[in-house]
Amino acid sequence: MIAITAKDVEMTYGTDVVLTGITFTVHAGEKVGLIGPNGAGKSTLLRILTGALEPTAGSFSINKDLNPGYLRQEKTVSPASIGRGTETVLSATAAVYRTLTEAGAEVFESEIRGVLIGLGFRDEDFSKPLDALSGGERARLDIAHLLLKRPDVLLLDEPTNHLDLNMLAWLEQRIKVFPGTVLLVSHDRYLLDRTIGRIFELEAGRLEAYKGNYSDYRLQKQACLESERKAYEKNITEYKRQEEMIRRFKERGTEKLAKRAASREKKLTREGAPDAPRHISAQAAAKIDFGNAKRSGDDVLLAEGVAKSFRSELFRDVNLDVKRGEKICMIGANGIGKTTLLKIFAGKAAGDAGFVDRGVGVKIGYYDQHQAGLHQAHTLIEEIQHILPHLTSTEHRNLLGRFLFRGDKVFQEIGTLSGGEKARLALLKLIVSGANTLLLDEPTNHLDIASMEAIESALSDFDGTLIVISHDRFLLERLPSRIVELTKDGLQNYAGNFDYYLQKKASESGTGDNLTGAKALTASARERLIAKEAETARRRREKRLKDTEENIDRLEGEIRALAEKQLSEDAAADFELLAEIGGQIIAKESELGALFARWEELQS
C-alpha cells in the first residue's frame, strides 16, 4: 500500500525556487530519512505534505486510510493549546491520551509514564505547570503527545533537538519498532543509520533517492561524485582529442575526411566544452593552517576534586588528567553541568571545591556557541585575513572553502550570516587561532550534515588537544580517543569511542547488545560484480581506442615518409619506384580511413 506520494511538486517564493520537480512514493511501513543543507526546503516539503502549505505546482497525497502525525520544529505545547493555564505535564498528557484510547487505568498510567520518562521527565516533573517548562521540555512534551496519539504515519522535523543521549536511544528504539510509515528530517546521522531504510536528499531544489541508511547513502554519494569527477575529466580529455582529430581530418586534404571534419566540428561547436559539475570545486579541501600553534607540554590539564552547585549540587569529586594530543569527548545527562565544567577547565568559571592546573605552554581556545569575537561588519575573507595575514588571498579562500564558504559568499558581511554559518566561522577562527588546546561546547549543534562533516574533518586534522562536549553520536563514534561521562559523582572514563562506551555500559548493566553501534551495510555481491564487469568493459574499450590512435599516428608517419620519398631524386628518376610508392600511399590512406572510421565508432 502506498502511504505518501508526490508528483512534480514545486514551491517558489517570487523568483526564489525552493523545490522543483519533486516526485516520490513512500510505501506503508517504510522509514525514510530526508536530508539536505540548511535552507534546502526540507521543512517546507513536510508542511506541504501535511497540507499546511500550498505548493506552487504539482500534486501530493497521504493515504486517506492512514492517520498522519506531524512534529514541527516550532514547538506547540502551551497552556493555550491545551485550554487551561493550570494544566501540568501529566494532566495535559493524560488529556491527549484519554481521547484516543479505551485502555484501562493500569495500561493508561503505564503508557503515559513510560513515554514521559523515556523523554527525560522525572516523577517530580509530572506536576510542573506547562507555562513553567523550558523550551527543551516543551519540545520533548510535543514528542510525547505525538507518540501517544498513535498515528499511522510519522512526519518528524528534527525530533532530536534538545534530547540527551539516553533520550536519543529511547526515541531511536521507538522509531525502530514503530509499525507505520516514517518520514524523518534529521541531521542525526547515527539515528539515520539505525532507523532508516531509504534516504531522500534535497539539494538545489531537487530530490534524489538512495537505498539504505545514511552510511549506505554516503558511500553511494561519494561514488556518484567520484564518477562525476572522472566523467568530467574524461569529457575534457575527449573534447581536446576531438579537436585534435578534427585538425588531422582537415590536414589529410581528402574530400571525405574534410566532410567528416566539418560535421564533427559543427557538432563540437554546438555542444560546447564540458561544464564542470558544481561538486568538483566544492570537494576541494584546503589543508588547514592551525595558526602556527606551539606544542604544549605533555601534561595539558589536571583536575582534582572539582565540585559545583547552583541552588542544588551539580557535580562533585571531578578528577581528570589530560595529556597532549588526546581527543576527549564529554557526555552526560541534560542539566548535569557539562558546560559549567568546561568553563571551569577553561578558567572562565570557578569551582566550589578542588583545583584545576593547566600545563606548561598550554594555550586554550574556548567555543561556547555564542560566536563571541566575530566582527559583524567584516566580510568573511576580511575576518580570516585579520587572523592569518601571512597567507595569500587564494589560501584564505581555500581555507574558507574547507568550511563550506565558497564563491561570492566570502565577501558577505558576517552580520548577515545565519546562526549555523556564524557557528562555522567561529569554529574556523578558533581552530586557526594558534591555540593548542580546544575546549568545544556542542560544536555541531544546529549545523547541517555537510557542515558537521567539515568540522569533524578539521578537528580530526588538529594535532593539539581536544575536549569536546557533544551528543552527536556519529561524531562520538569517529573523533574521540576516549569518552568521559559526567555524573553527580564525578567523571567516568571510557578508553575508546562511542561504540566502546555503549558496549561497556551494556556490560556493566547486564543488558544485551541493543545499544551497540550499527555498522553500515556493504553493497551486495551482485552489485559489486556488475560494477566490476562495467569497469572491465570500460578499460577494454579505452585500450582499443588507445591502440587505434597509436595506429593512426603510425600510419600518418609512414604516409609522410613515403610522400617525402616520392620527392627524392631517386624516385624522380625511377618511374617504377614512383608507381610503387604511390601504390603504397594509396593502400595506407585506405587503411588510415578504416582506422578513422573505427576511431569514430569507439567514440560513440
What pLDDT does residue 311 have? 84
What pLDDT does residue 108 have? 61
* 215 pLDDT tier (thresholds 50, 70, 90): very high
Convert the pLDDT of each residue in 541-596 to its tens digit: 778 888 888 888 888 888 888 888 877 777 777 777 877 888 888 888 878 877 88
Mean pLDDT taken over the chain: 84
Look at residue 353 and give its three-state secondary structure: strand
- Residue of 386, 422, 541, 473 lying closest to 172 (CA atoms): 473
Buried b (16+ CB within 10 A) or exposed e, 225-255: eeebeeebeeeeeeeeebeebbebbeebeee
Of 69 and 369, the one with more pLDDT: 69
* pLDDT at residue 503 is higher than 80: yes
CA 168, 173, 179, 183 torsion: positive or negative?
positive
| Mean pLDDT, range 14-18, rounded to an integer | 88
What pLDDT does residue 104 have? 46
Task: Look at domain 299-507 and name its CATH class.
Answer: alpha beta
Alpha-carbon distance 158 to 179, whole Å?
20
What pLDDT does residue 523 have? 38
Are 434 and 294 in contact by the 8 Å Cβ rule? The answer is yes
The grid cell for 327 is 581527543
Alpha-carbon distance 441 to 471, whole Å?
10
Average the pLDDT over each of 45-49, 375-379, 470-474, 573-577 and give the range with the smallest value: 573-577
What pLDDT does residue 371 have? 60
pTM of the model: 0.72
Amino acid identity for residue 32 in this structure: V
Of 194 and 228, the one with more pLDDT: 194
What pLDDT does residue 75 have? 59
Measured CA angle at 585 (ends 581, 586), to 5 deg:
120
| Mean pLDDT, range 505-529, rounded to an integer | 51
What pLDDT does residue 282 have? 44
The grid cell for 549 is 590512435
Alpha-carbon distance 31 to 11, whole Å?
24
What pLDDT does residue 210 have? 95
* 531 pLDDT tier (thresholds 50, 70, 90): low
What pLDDT does residue 589 have? 81
Of 3.50.50.60, 3.90.870.40, 3.30.420.40, 3.40.50.300, the CATH number of 2-219 is 3.40.50.300
- Residue of 501, 527, 529 lying closest to 515 (CA atoms): 501
Convert the pLDDT of each residue in 93-138 to its tens digit: 777 666 555 544 455 677 888 899 999 898 888 888 888 888 888 8
* pLDDT at residue 278 is higher than 70: no
Alpha-carbon distance 44 to 162, whole Å?
22
Convert the pLDDT of each residue in 221-249 to its tens digit: 988 888 888 888 888 888 888 788 788 77
Are 186 and 174 in contact by the 8 Å Cβ rule? The answer is no
* 511 pLDDT tier (thresholds 50, 70, 90): low
Phi-psi map region of 404: left, alpha, beta (phi>0 left; psi -120 to 50 alpha): left
Look at residue 68 and give its three-state secondary structure: strand
* 521 pLDDT tier (thresholds 50, 70, 90): very low
* pLDDT at residue 42 is higher than 70: yes
Convert the pLDDT of each residue in 404-459 to its tens digit: 888 888 999 998 888 778 888 888 888 888 899 999 999 888 788 988 888 888 88
Q: Do domains 2-219 and 299-507 have the same CATH topology?
A: yes
Give the chain's length.
604
What pLDDT does residue 59 have? 94
Most confident of 241-250, 291-300, 484-493: 484-493
Measured CA angle at 41 (ends 38, 43), to 5 deg:
90
* 201 pLDDT tier (thresholds 50, 70, 90): very high
Helix axes 419-431, 393-402, angle to 10 degrees: 120
Domain ranges of the chain: 2-219, 227-282, 299-507, 525-603
What pLDDT does residue 513 have? 46
Place of cell 597567507: 391
Torsion angle defined by CA atoms of residues 472, 473, 475 and 480, in that order, rounded to the nearest 10 degrees: 120
CA atoms within 13 A on the CB side of 27: 3
Alpha-carbon distance 555 to 174, whole Å?
72
Alpha-carbon distance 271 to 275, whole Å?
10
What pLDDT does residue 591 have? 83
What pLDDT does residue 43 have? 93
* pLDDT at residue 369 is higher than 60: yes
* pLDDT at residue 507 is higher than 70: yes
The grid cell for 18 is 525552493
